[in-house]
Amino acid sequence: MKKLPVLLCCVLFSVGVSSAVGQTNKNEKDVIAAVRAFYNGFTTGTFKGAEAYTTDDWNHINPNGGRTRGRTAVLEEVRAVHQTFLKGVSDTPEEIDVRFASPTVAVATVTSRLSTFTSPDGVKHNKEQNIRTFVVVKQKGRWLIMQDHNTIVLNSEERETLKQDGATQRLLWAIDQNDPAQHPEREGVIAEMTRLYKLATENYRKRTVAELKIAYDAAKEFVNRFGDDPSVKEQILWMTDTMPVIQKRIAALKVVD
């Protein structure tokens, strides 16, 4: 009889673990579903129903480094290129890897293969491999793409062609630095940046001291940890400007209280 409570605890623990694992598996499947919806939209060229798998503030970074902010602007851009040189071009995922930075933030890394196309500069691209990083966040129970960043994976032949065309070692180094396949540690950095940025942007307009403090602390940590990273220069400037405003609002609310 004395063993019954121990046995019961073991059963309850097992059920709890199974439930947590089940929830993680479901979240991963939902993240992958959002990512696959993106690729389906790419292949059709219309990105129909993007509201169901992207956030309002979706950011898109193309292989040339151009960044477009906001779903409306992103859709306008991608639909335009899919009516011209990318019309009829497919992008097929080969491998999808999902990691969770928090219960509501995931980073998905996808290698994919494009069908052949000719870019506006007349260069023929023959079944290139791409690697794309997605930041996917959970909002109101749905996993939505908040940001995607695409990079062309160069093979040894393509690197040699670049060298023959006069590419410097500095240029090749810069290409490598933006290749997540060669620098997987950047995934964790991006996930941390996203977590702090999300906390700051979701709370800086709130009306309670506690919520505003969350925004301020997140912004301060972001600036302290990533202030020297040139890839987030604009975010650093925004946070540096916003932090004093948040402090003033906190002070004003404390006076009212």
Q: What are the beta bridge partners of residue 99?
A: 107
Quick check: 17 pLDDT over 50? no
Summarised one tens digit per residue, pLDDT across range 75-127 is 999 998 898 889 999 999 999 999 999 999 999 999 999 998 887 767 677 88
Give just the sign of the alpha carbon dihedral 61, 64, 65, 70. negative
| Alpha-carbon span 4 to 24, nearest angstrom | 30
| Alpha-carbon span 2 to 162, nearest angstrom | 74
Q: Residue 89: how many CB atoms within 10 A of its CB?
A: 17
Summarised one tens digit per residue, pLDDT across range 212-224 is 999 999 999 999 9
Quick check: 148 pLDDT over 90? yes
Read off φ and ψ for residue 118, nearest 5 degrees: -115, 125
Work out the average pLDDT over 20-49.
Answer: 88
User: Is the pTM of the predicted complex or chain greater than 0.85?
Assistant: no
Q: What average pLDDT does the structure give for the chain?
A: 81
pLDDT score at 27: 93
**Cβ contact 32:107 at 8 Å:** no
